[in-house]
């Protein structure tokens, strides 16, 4: 099914900005305009299954946005790895419901963008709840025991 693309993202940063703006606005069309139209895309929401392919990813965002609660989402502490056709951003998302004093939930996300004929598009979004606070400093490994790596 051909789709009309109204936007092109000339850089991975442009695609990432559009991703988080669509997320905050709960705008499904804008969200899916960020993703590559491919069976190869992968989306893992926090504690969710591994969704593969455009339709499965679209349905998951439709479900999330249907809840009606618009969230504030800010991507911070980015570590970026950039190639000519592929870019990876590992970020800490600060996710909060609307309101001045709403609690902020940190989420770790790895976002992968690929240069396609239609500009840079997201191909992987892998998101993980951050461990319960107090959050350890990045420089100090957790003292938690990990039974499975």
- Residues binding a second copy (CB under 8 A): 23, 40, 42, 44-53, 55-56, 59-60, 63-64, 67, 69, 71, 73, 77, 79, 81-88, 90, 92, 95, 105, 107-108, 110, 112, 114, 123-124, 126-131, 135-136, 138-142, 144-149
Three-class HEC string of 91-140:
EEEEEECCCCCCCCEEEEEEEEEEEECCEEEEEEEEEEECCCCCCCCCCC
Shortest separation between residue 113's beta carbon and a second copy, angstroms: 9
Identify the residue whose tokens are 């991507």. 75
Shortest separation between residue 101's beta carbon and a second copy, angstroms: 17
The residue among 33 and 87 lying less far from a second copy, judged by its C-beta, is 87
69 token code pair: 């609660």
The residue among 6 and 68 lying less far from a second copy, judged by its C-beta, is 68
The residue among 6 and 76 lying less far from a second copy, judged by its C-beta, is 76
Shortest separation between residue 4's beta carbon and a second copy, angstroms: 24
Shortest separation between residue 76's beta carbon and a second copy, angstroms: 11
Q: Where is 90: in which H helix or E strand? A: strand 86-96
Residue-wise burial string across 119-139, b where 16 or more C-beta atoms lie within 10 A, e elsewhere: bbbbbbbbbeeeeeeeeeeee
Shortest separation between residue 6's beta carbon and a second copy, angstroms: 23
Cis peptide leading into residue 134 (ω within 30°): yes
The residue among 33 and 44 lying less far from a second copy, judged by its C-beta, is 44
């Amino acid at each position: 099914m051909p789709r009309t693309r109204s936007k092109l993202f000339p850089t991975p940063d442009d695609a990432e900005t559009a991703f988080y703006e669509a997320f905050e606005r709960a705008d499904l069309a804008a969200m899916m305009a960020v993703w590559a139209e491919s069976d190869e895309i992968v989306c893992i929401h926090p504690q969710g299954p591994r969704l593969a392919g455009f339709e499965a990813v679209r349905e998951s965002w439709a479900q999330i946005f249907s809840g009606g609660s618009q969230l504030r989402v800010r991507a911070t502490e980015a570590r970026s790895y950039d190639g000519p056709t592929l870019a990876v951003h590992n970020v800490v998302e600060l996710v909060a419901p609307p309101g001045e004093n709403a609690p902020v939930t940190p989420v770790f996300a790895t976002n992968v963008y690929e240069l396609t004929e239609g500009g840079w598009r997201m191909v992987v979004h892998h998101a993980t709840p951050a461990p319960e606070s107090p959050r350890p400093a990045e420089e100090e490994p957790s003292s938690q025991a990990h039974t499975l790596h």
